[in-house]
Amino acid sequence: MNNLNIYTELFISFFKIGFFGFGGGYSMLALLEREIVQMHGWLSVTEFVDIIAIAEMTPGAVAINSATFVGYQIAGVAGAAISTFGVIFPSLLLVIPAAKLVTLFYQNKNLQNALNGIHPAVIALIGLAAYVIGVNSIIDIKSALIGVGALLLLTFTKIHPLLLIAAGAVAGLIFYL
Amino acid sequence: MLPLVKREIIDKKHWMENGDFLDNLALAQSLPGPVIINMSLLTGYRLRGIKGSISSVLGTAMPSFVIILTIALFFWQYRDYYLIQAAFMGIRPAVTALIIYTIFQLGKRVFEDYRSLLLFMLFLSGLIFVNLHPITIIVVSAIVGILWPLNNNSKKEQTP
């Protein structure tokens, strides 16, 4: 594989993910899945899910963690650096001008309506991430039970996500060994 | 991660008033890209201009870059070990639950306007069944929002 090409492709993919990544980490997962798994086949779905789990367990934004990880898997340390830069670059371009034009930003009714209109789409993207990840994670009765149990814990106990993942790991060891 | 940012910026370093922090947060959440990166850029820019924003974005990105690289370099190879495999069999459904729970939480606020719920179902069907690209959905939803404004009681409306 041509190295220069792969670096360019990584940069473009992660630039797209950063540029259209409205609504925070989980909605960016849908973009990641489409670009990384479906379009380029850089990762399998299970690898993708496991990287998200690791990103969830480690500090820092999920989008950045996934960029670093995927970049490294595809093209080593340079790939990791280029992918991470790619996902941050749109913010570098957009945030400072937006801060300077902040009054204009809030007074522009069309812009505000567009940003409001994105909300249902953001939730739909999170829905897609849940669907893709769910279909590949919940594969039998045992994993379904773990999933339902986790959802009940989240709803009724406000358990910390890190603790929930640890509990999932313990449940996995109990059920699957 | 946001409570950590708030404690560092407001309580410990006194770099910013609470109101300014919330204004920055609203802006950071409206713009594309990782919220934490946008927040770093805004805080750094407010304190020391462009140089400040570059320093703070590097400061935020470096730890996760190093941590993830370490995991990729030294731990990923043990993923096929049977104990790790079993643990991940349980971790994956837990991650799914986390994502579904986020949908419930966001939905509670956004779906107060029934049109949002309708659009959500339409968009999700398009993504799953027609395999539409997420970028298409984002662009279409922005256009729909301009032509047919939704009444989401978002945080943005409380800021000047």
More confident residue, B121 or A49: B121
Predicted pLDDT at B153: 47
Verify whether the Cβ–Cβ distance B107 to A114 is below 8 Å.
Answer: no
A147 and A132, same domain (yes or no): no
A127 and A142, same domain (yes or no): no
A42 and A115, same domain (yes or no): yes
pLDDT at A59 over 90: no
Question: What's the N-to-C CA distance of chain A in angstroms?
Answer: 39
Q: Which residues of B touch A50 (CB under 8 A)?
A: 79, 88, 91-92
pLDDT at A25 over 80: no
Give the domain extent around A145. 138-177
Q: How far is B2 from chain A (nearest CA, A)?
A: 11
Stretch (H or E) spanning A135:
helix A109-137
Domain count, chain A: 2
**Cα(B51)–Cα(A15) distance, integer angstroms:** 22
Sequence-distant (≥ 6) Cβ neighbours of residue A75 within 8 angstroms:
A3, A6, A7, A10, A82
Q: How is chain B split into domains, by residue range?
A: 1-78
Three-state secondary structure of A63-119 = HHHHHHHHHHHHHHHHHHHHHHHHHHHHHHHHHHHHHHCHHHHHHCHHHHHHHHHHH
Sequence-distant (≥ 6) Cβ neighbours of residue A137 within 8 angstroms:
A49, A143, A147, B92, B93, B95, B96
Verify whether the Cβ–Cβ distance A137 to B96 is below 8 Å.
Answer: yes
Burial class (CB in 10 A: 0-12, 13-18, 19+), B75: exposed
Verify whether the Cβ–Cβ distance B145 to A106 is below 8 Å.
Answer: no
Mean pLDDT, chain A, integer: 90
A146 and A133, same domain (yes or no): no
Predicted pLDDT at B156: 44
Q: What percent of chain A has pLDDT over 70?
A: 98
A102 and A171, same domain (yes or no): no
The upper half-sphere exposure of residue A41, i.e. CA atoms within 13 Å in the direction of its Cβ, equals 0
Query: Which of B4, B23, B95, B132 is most worth mutating to test chain A (most A CB atoms within 10 A of its CB)?
Result: B95
Predicted pLDDT at A100: 85
**Cα(B92)–Cα(A165) distance, integer angstroms:** 8
Average pLDDT over residues A148-163: 92
Q: For the segment B65-90, what is each residue's pLDDT rounded down to a tens digit?
A: 999 999 989 888 888 899 999 999 99
More confident residue, B79 or A137: A137
A131 and A168, same domain (yes or no): no
Predicted pLDDT at A3: 63
Verify whether the Cβ–Cβ distance B71 to A69 is below 8 Å.
Answer: yes
**Cα(B84)–Cα(B80) distance, integer angstroms:** 7
Q: What percent of chain A has pLDDT over 90?
A: 54
Q: For the segment A60-117, what is each residue's pLDDT rounded down to a tens digit?
A: 788 898 899 999 988 999 999 999 999 999 999 999 888 888 777 778 888 888 888 8
Query: Which of A49, A69, A105, A115 is most worth mutating to test chain B (most B CB atoms within 10 A of its CB)?
Result: A115
| Interface predicted TM-score (ipTM) over 0.90 | no
A60 and A125, same domain (yes or no): yes
Q: How confident is the model at residue B157 (pLDDT cuts 50, 70, 90)?
A: very low
Residue of B nearest to A161 (CA): B98
Average pLDDT over residues B109-123: 91
